[in-house]
Amino acid sequence: MSMNKNTVLGYATLIMIIVGLVLIALGAFRYDDVAGWGFASVGIGFFANAWVFNALKGRV
């Protein structure tokens, strides 16, 4: 299986979206104090990073 740059960026985007969802879920349901806000903000950061990877997909 040959993986070109676009497939690698696609998989990286998918993994980052999954990790972002897990972090936001941890922040929402597991932690009730300030740590929950930290987890949720890091999850939103993962979403932003995945958005950048998705935008780069056709240009690299």
On whether the CB atoms of residues 25 and 42 are closer than 8 A, the answer is no
pLDDT of 21: 92
Q: Convert the pLDDT of each residue in 3-42 to its tens digit.
A: 788 888 889 889 999 999 999 898 888 888 888 888 889 9
**3-state DSSP helix/strand/coil % of the chain, to nearest 5:** 80, 0, 20
The model carries a pTM of 0.76
Q: Average pLDDT of 52-57?
A: 83
Residue 58 confidence (pLDDT) above 80? no
Residue 56 confidence (pLDDT) above 90? no
Domain ranges of the chain: 5-56
Residue 55 confidence (pLDDT) above 80? yes
